[in-house]
Structure 1
Amino acid sequence: MKIVLNGAPQEVRAQTLSELLEECGFSGRVATAVNEEFVPSSLRIGQALNDGDRVEVLSPMQGG
């Protein structure tokens, strides 16, 4: 399926947000949103993805 991940078009096999994170190699603590709606970590396993979805994955950065 085709989605937009962090602003870039991607072809993925994942059917859920949790599968997408694993497929794309995201690990640790991240914040996620699908179509501009925040998705808490506890709901990612049930968050289905659809063709054309816009997914944002953000990880915290240290520094000042």
Structure 2
Amino acid sequence: MANLISPMTGKVLEINIKVGQEITDEDAELFIIEAMKMENTVSGVVGTVKEIKANVGDIVHEDDVIAIIE
């Protein structure tokens, strides 16, 4: 099991995954987080989405777990 970690503090603009979804591309844009008026892509994991711990509009902090991927 892998935790998807927010690389920065910012506002969640998009969530491009759903619970149960299989992620096969490590470069897939899973989340978009806005920080300092820039949109940043969160990616880098493969597996099945078990839980999404953030919602669009949430403020997340650096190192927060935003999803659990198995």
Higher share of residues assigned helix: 1
TM-score under structure 1 normalisation?
A: 0.33
Higher-strand-fraction structure: 2
TM-score (norm 2): 0.31
